[in-house]
Structure 1
Amino acid sequence: MKKLLYSLLKKPFFGRFNKPWRWPDDINQADWKRLSFKSESGAKISALVAESLTEDIKGAVLLCHPMGVSAKGFWLRYGHAQLLRQSGYHVMVFDFNGFGESGSTNMDFPLDVLAAGNALQNQYPNLALGLIGASLGGAMSVCAMTSPTHPFKAAVIESAFPTLMHFWRPYPLPKLALQFVQLIYPSGEKRVRPVHAANILAGRPDMLLIYGEADKFTTVAHGKLLFDALKRNTEAEFWQVEGATHTHAYAAQPKEYESRVLSFLEKSLVLT
């Protein structure tokens, strides 16, 4: 009964993304090792891990995908994973529950981030861990970092909404469904509210927030709300990207993205 209820609640938000996952074109599948592990959300999570392409290993990075049928393939398709591997980082991509090849349970997505982070740390126990999350992945990553057991020293958060309502307000059916969730399960909705999470971060991970000037879904103003909350509790930077649409700062400004993101990770992922 509970599984059916969660399925009905998730449908207005994510139903159109429940399609079979496919490898992005032109990706060498042999570079990637498959992993699966259990999340406390109850789902079996599907992940891929690839090693750095250099011998100078600087850390390991978890990539948390935005909403979309491509799910974990987003990072392969648009080159983020390759950039990190060429720059000295081991990389893990994974599917949130209900996306890609992962099982579907509830909407407690921060638990999936924690499970993936712990799985990556188990793969590389002697390395510092960073995180890059976009949209849904960025927002749920901020929420995951309220847990005292999270393994992340630094996070790059792109196009993350400050609250679910900020993102879904323009869409009548998801907005109504969210209002219903807030009514029947207010504590659950609060757990996935990034501006609330910003006040109770654990471990003070360094943060780089990225928002596109051409983003119609999570605007620069939305980003500033989250940034203002985060900078009260940790070291946070804000990059406003000219010409960037939702989750596509790398495509809009590739050279500056490389410079900013790689220098941020190299500075922050230092084991002490």
Structure 2
Amino acid sequence: MKNTAYRLFKKPFFGRFMRPWRWPEQIDPQPWQRLTIDSSSGARLSALLAESHAPEAKGAILLAHPMGTVAKGFWLKQGHAELLRAAGYHVMLFDLNGFGESSSTTMDYPLDVLAAGQALQQHYPQLPLAVLGASMGAAMSLCALAQPGHPFKAAVLEAAFPTLLHFWRRYPIPSLGIRLSMLLYPAGERRLRPLHAAERLVGKPPLLMIYGEDDDYTPVEDGLQLHLALSGTTHTEFWRVPGAAHTLAYTAQPQAYAQRVTAFLDTYLASHN
């Protein structure tokens, strides 16, 4: 009954994105191992794991996807997964609950990030972990960093919104749903509010925040608001990407993105390796 109520509440937000998942065309599935992860959200999460191209990996990276029917396939299609494997990192992709091949339960998406991160740590207990997220995946990853027991030593967050209302303000029905949740279930809404998490980061992992100058959904000024809150808590770098639309910084500036992201990960995971 509870999960049915959540599925109905989710529909105005994510209904058009929750479709049967297909393997992205022209991507070789051979290197990828399929996994199933139990999340405290009640969901069974679908995940993919691939090894680094380097003989000795520097660490392992969890990738948390933005909204979209392609879900975890976003990282395969856009090239992030291969970039990180070539840079010497093991990579795990996973579907947030209700997306891709994961079952749909509550809206406690930070618990999905936490479960996937802990599963990745179990695979590589001797290696440092980071999380890389985009849009919804970035925001929920930030919220996961406020959860006790998260395994992440650093995070790269692209287009993370400060609050759910910032992202959904253009859409009347989702905005109304969020405002009602703030009245009826304020604790639940706070768990999904990156600005709330910014003051409560566990372990204070360093962050690289990325925002596209052509992003209409999470504009730079939203990112600056979140950056201001985070910079008082932990080391936080901010990168404005010229010509980048929403979640497409790597597409807009591939060489700069590769250099900036891998240098950040190399710097802040090396001290834990």
- What TM-score do the two structures reach when normalised by structure 1? 0.99
Q: Equivalents in 2 of 1:159, 1:220: separation in Å?
A: 8
Q: CA deviation at 1:15?
A: 0.5
1:79 lines up with 2:79 in the alignment: yes
Aligned to 2:154: 154
Q: Match for 2:90: what amino acid?
A: H
The 5 Å alignment of 1:121-270 reads: 121-270=121-270
Q: Equivalents in 2 of 1:148, 1:234: separation in Å?
A: 16
Q: Match for 1:93: what amino acid?
A: L
Q: CA deviation at 1:78?
A: 0.3
The 5 Å alignment of 1:38-77 reads: 38-77=38-77
The 5 Å alignment of 1:23-42 reads: 23-42=23-42
Greater alpha carbon shift after TM alignment, 178-187 vs 34-43: 178-187
Verify the 8 A CA contact 1:213 1:245 in the aligned structure 2.
yes
Q: Secondary structure at the match of 1:165?
A: helix
Q: Match for 1:238: what amino acid?
A: F
Q: Secondary structure at the match of 2:35?
A: strand
Verify the 8 A CA contact 1:21 1:70 in the aligned structure 2.
yes
Q: Equivalents in 1 of 2:85, 2:3: separation in Å?
A: 38
Q: Which runs of 4+ in 1 moved over 6 A?
A: none
Q: CA deviation at 1:179?
A: 1.5
Q: Equivalents in 1 of 2:60, 2:259: separation in Å?
A: 18
Q: Match for 1:129: what amino acid?
A: L
Q: Match for 1:269: what amino acid?
A: L
- Between the aligned residues of both structures, percent identity stands at 59
Verify the 8 A CA contact 1:24 1:77 in the aligned structure 2.
yes
Aligned residues: 272
Verify the 8 A CA contact 1:143 1:197 in the aligned structure 2.
yes
Q: CA deviation at 1:260?
A: 0.4
The 5 Å alignment of 1:81-120 reads: 81-120=81-120
Q: Equivalents in 2 of 1:245, 1:214: separation in Å?
A: 5
Q: Equivalents in 1 of 2:23, 2:12: separation in Å?
A: 26
Q: Equivalents in 1 of 2:56, 2:262: separation in Å?
A: 14
Q: Equivalents in 2 of 1:32, 1:161: separation in Å?
A: 30
Q: Equivalents in 2 of 1:23, 1:239: separation in Å?
A: 31
Q: Equivalents in 2 of 1:239, 1:196: separation in Å?
A: 22
Q: Secondary structure at the match of 2:139?
A: helix
Verify the 8 A CA contact 1:52 1:91 in the aligned structure 2.
yes
Q: Equivalents in 2 of 1:2, 1:128: separation in Å?
A: 36
Q: CA deviation at 1:56?
A: 3.5
RMSD over aligned CA atoms reads 0.7
Q: CA deviation at 1:194?
A: 0.2
1:14 lines up with 2:14 in the alignment: yes
Q: Equivalents in 2 of 1:120, 1:3: separation in Å?
A: 26
Verify the 8 A CA contact 1:65 1:134 in the aligned structure 2.
yes
For structure 2, the residue ranges without an aligned partner over 5 or more in a row are none
